Amino acid sequence: MLRTSLGARYDGASFTGQLALFRLDVSHERIQDPVTREVLPTGKSVRQGINFDGQLRVGSRITIRADGTVNDAHVKGDPGKGLTPLVIPDLDVTVNGKPIRPSYHIEPLEPGDPVPNVASWLGRVGMDATLTSRLTARGQLRLSGPYTPIGEPGIETQSYAVVDLGTSIELPGFGAVADLELQNVFDAKYPEIRASGFINPGAPRTLRAALRFTDDQ
């Protein structure tokens, strides 16, 4: 594996940011299907693109932050032949003395194909706000571009966006902080994992609550 990167960083009074160009050359790519638990030998591949993150402070109460990656990941060499079983248990059902094994239409990748399960771009944009000395609020937009699922060459998922909102309330009488967060506010439908024709959906609208005890009294 050969890794090359070039970057720059800026630190100012109200803005901090960095930008990096990267390239990762892999000689013996191995991709494990999360559904079939099989390994696809993919030969040589490359991942290259741009990564950035930044933070802007607006006054003393608001902070805006963003980060993201644009990634071109594709197979560049001769792929391996066939699939190597990894962790598939023996099945009780046999035909002609041989166990029946599921087939998930997995095909070897060809040079130029995208590396499976690598989104072409992804990022986050968020804001933190101090409303009072005991109350803070935050919001975040999570973004993800399309990707080719493992075991489904020629297929591309749709991009999606998810909004999260949260607040933290200091409880001085208890020496604690209560955190409330509403994730996926608009109940967006998106695949957390997709492979071999199976989809594990992302979490629906979810309310989370936590109580953190601090040393400050």
Q: Tell me, what's the pLDDT at 51? A: 97
Q: Tell me, what's the pLDDT at 88? A: 45
- The CATH superfamily assigned to 2-213 is TonB-dependent receptor, beta-barrel domain (2.40.170.20)
Contact 16, 55 (CB under 8 A): yes
Measured distance CA(81)–CA(43) in Å, rounded: 9
- pTM, two decimals, is 0.78
53-59 contact pairs (CB < 8 A, 24+): 53/17, 53/18, 54/15, 54/16, 54/17, 54/18, 55/15, 55/16, 55/17, 56/14, 56/15, 57/14, 57/15, 58/14
Q: Tell me, what's the pLDDT at 37? A: 73
Measured distance CA(165)–CA(167) in Å, rounded: 7
**Residue numbers in the chain where pLDDT is lower than 50:** 81-91, 105
Q: Tell me, what's the pLDDT at 76? A: 84
Q: Tell me, what's the pLDDT at 167? A: 97
Q: Tell me, what's the pLDDT at 158? A: 92
Contact 137, 124 (CB under 8 A): no
Q: Tell me, what's the pLDDT at 134? A: 93
* Tally of CB atoms within 10 A around 70: 15
Q: Tell me, what's the pLDDT at 102? A: 53
Contact 159, 143 (CB under 8 A): yes
Beta-strand ranges (E) seen in the chain are 2-11, 15-32, 38-58, 62-75, 84-85, 94-95, 98-99, 121-130, 135-144, 160-171, 176-183, 191-195, 198-201, 206-213
